[in-house]
């Protein structure tokens, strides 16, 4: 039996559709909504210029923003929608420098466990970025941005197989004058697909670096 031109075209279309399915499937583990977001100026990897280099001075907050005279400690549960996804610990020092860590272990699929580890993240406050929402500007809120690396171990209890995913972690958010912080953790391996986790906490004054590990 000979296959005519029409049959060849059908075969090519089927192969093309299969290729698209394979490509999309490769991103399902991450958030598909972020596939084409790398050019969004609000994504943290497009704002790393706000992270002050070591040895340089972090700009001080304005008179309207939080006055940080003692190290502030933040500890909070992190969530993905309504599901708990570990704990974040972070300190903001009087010089505006920030460091912290995030760890999580959870099951989001049957028989599959995710263990998240990060080697920490570092960054700083940035008084120049102005908070805006549907109600307008709020110049009393203080922006912060940090960057680090993460590793996620994905273990399938049925097959006893483990695979690892590596990439960058960004922690950003806003601090009000009463030391209440709301933030996001964004993890990405390619700056196109990503996952977002939210958190909020009240800062406690007088923390030390050892409080990060308690």
pLDDT in tens, 74-123: 999 999 988 999 999 999 999 999 999 999 998 877 888 989 877 799 99
- Structure token digits, residue 51: 């992270």
CATH placement of domain 37-213: 2.40.160
Q: How many CB atoms lie under 10 A from the CB of residue 124?
A: 23
pLDDT higher than 80, residue 152: yes
pLDDT higher than 90, residue 54: yes
Any idea how long the chain is?
214
Of residues 111 and 52, more confidence is placed in: 52
Question: What is d(CA 62, CA 192) in angstroms, rounded to the nearest whole number?
Answer: 34
Domain regions of the chain by residue span: 1-30, 37-213
State the pTM of this model: 0.78
Mean local confidence (pLDDT), 128-135: 94
- Structure token digits, residue 92: 């903001």
pLDDT higher than 50, residue 22: no
pLDDT value for 110: 80
Token look-up 């570092």 returns: 122
């Amino acid at each position: 039996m000979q296959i005519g031109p029409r049959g060849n075209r059908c075969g090519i279309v089927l192969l093309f559709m299969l290729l698209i399915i394979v490509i999309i499937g490769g991103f399902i583990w991450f958030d598909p909504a972020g596939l084409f977001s790398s050019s969004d100026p609000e994504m943290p990897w497009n704002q790393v210029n706000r992270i002050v280099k070591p040895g340089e001075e972090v700009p001080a907050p304005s008179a309207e923003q939080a006055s940080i005279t003692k190290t502030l400690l933040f500890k909070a549960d992190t969530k993905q929608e309504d599901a708990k996804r570990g704990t974040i610990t972070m300190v903001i020092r009087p010089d505006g420098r920030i460091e912290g860590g995030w760890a999580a272990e959870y099951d989001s699929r049957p028989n599959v466990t995710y263990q998240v580890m990060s080697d920490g993240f570092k960054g700083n406050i940035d008084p120049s970025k102005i908070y805006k929402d549907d109600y307008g500007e709020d110049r009393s809120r203080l922006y912060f941005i940090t960057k680090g690396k993460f590793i996620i171990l994905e273990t399938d209890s049925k097959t006893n197989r483990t695979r690892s995913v590596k990439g960058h972690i960004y922690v950003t958010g806003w601090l009000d004058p009463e030391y209440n912080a709301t933030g996001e953790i964004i993890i990405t391996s390619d700056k196109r697909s990503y996952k977002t986790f939210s958190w909020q906490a009240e800062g406690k004054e007088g923390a030390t670096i050892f409080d990060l590990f308690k």
